[in-house]
Structure 1
């Protein structure tokens, strides 16, 4: 079985994304494999860092206080679709919509450890050689996997963009929960421990955790 066929057979079911607790989904995504297969170029990476956004109750969320715009309307769809937005006029940011329709929860995927298609990732990012910055941070990982705002709204049951479960499990002791990055504007909500990461993984973004 070739790699893309195998990964497609391991695709996460819709029910994984439709769970009510966005933090449960965000933590559960650690260790899963984000896969893109655009123009027959397979690229994939193991998820090592995520952030949860708790919809209308969360001042850091694009859907805080029930806000709806042409951009954020995708967040109100059923769990298991991609929400990709443009940040700082530079970066495309890949998020997974969670929960059921009309409850706009989402998980930002912040970092990946590459597992397939490194040469394609290098070409997309104009890098001469692979290093930890290749897929460290949400902007870098989206660029490496070829994810663009044009993919916003794509169902993650598609064969071009999806998340797979190859059986790898991250032990609870290897997972840390911290405040999210870059959401100081959210006041007290900026302090919520909604960022989940694999400890000591070199692809994780932000400052190194204290031992």
Structure 2
């Protein structure tokens, strides 16, 4: 058991840095705007720019982490730079970038992305075009082929990588309440790029 813990610790130490996401979740959710998800799928690399996020952590009644670490939410308690994926209504997958330190449940839901490369593959997967292609959490997961099998995935590695980009101008970021929740509805924890047409609900 001690050896297994040591191997896990060494593996964590050798990961490419996600220090830029070791922040309070609201700050991390804002920092993710403009960064990219690179998805390797069927011999192609799909690139999507993050344009809308929502912040959740274990002190938040609306968060899956609020009731503690479970088999379902384990990925959300990992260190910054992992993927947490869940299913809603038994149909739609939603993906979250885990933020903060190991052992504290926090993450940013990716609510919308803008296609950068491989839009033809995304259109084929969605059967849609235009902004409806990826302007929602379930839509973008379908377009990028992200399912629960990727929950816990290390975003420094293929087939899904998170690529840091320069911080966007803070004046471009709009802060609002979150969408589709029934608890902590007044918390200003949704962030999006004001000038981007792929935002789910401007």
Contact kept in structure 1, 2:111 and 2:137, CA below 8 Å = yes
Partner of 1:120: 121
User: 1: distance between equivalents of 2:102 and 2:45?
Assistant: 30
1:176 pairs, out of 174, 177, 192, with 174
CA-CA distance at 1:39 after TM superposition: 3.0
- Match among 33, 48, 53 for residue 50 of structure 1: 53
Paired residue for 2:195, among 184, 191, 200? 200
With over 3 angstroms needed to count, the CA separation of the structure-2 counterparts of 1:26 and 1:201, relative to structure 1, is same
- The residue correspondences of 1:45-124 to structure 2 (distance < 5 A) are 45-55=48-58, 57-66=59-68, 68-124=69-125
- 1:23 paired residue among 16, 26, 36: 26
Following superposition, the deviation at residue 166 of structure 1 comes to: 4.2
Q: Distance between the aligned counterparts of 2:169 and 2:118, measured in 1?
A: 27
Do the aligned residues in 1 keep the contact of 2:93 with 2:141 (CA within 8 Å)?
yes
Post-superposition Cα deviations, 1:134-162, rounded to whole Å, max 9, x if no partner, equal 01000001111111111111100102111
1:35: which partner in 2?
38
In the aligned structure 2, how far is the partner of 1:13 from the partner of 1:113?
25
CA distance in 2, matches of 1:63, 1:54: 6
User: Normalising by structure 2, what TM-score?
Assistant: 0.88
Taking only aligned residues, the RMSD between alpha carbons, in angstroms, comes to 1.4
1:8-59 deviation digits (Å, cap 9, x = unpaired): xxxx832123x1301111000001111111232211111110000021x100
Uncovered stretches (5+) of structure 2, i.e. residues with no partner: 1-15
Which residue is 1:152 aligned to? 151
TM-score scaled by structure 1? 0.84
* Aligned match of 1:4: none
1:13 to 2:17 alignment: yes
How many residues end up aligned between the 2 structures? 187
| Counterparts of 1:190 and 1:36, CA distance in 2 | 32
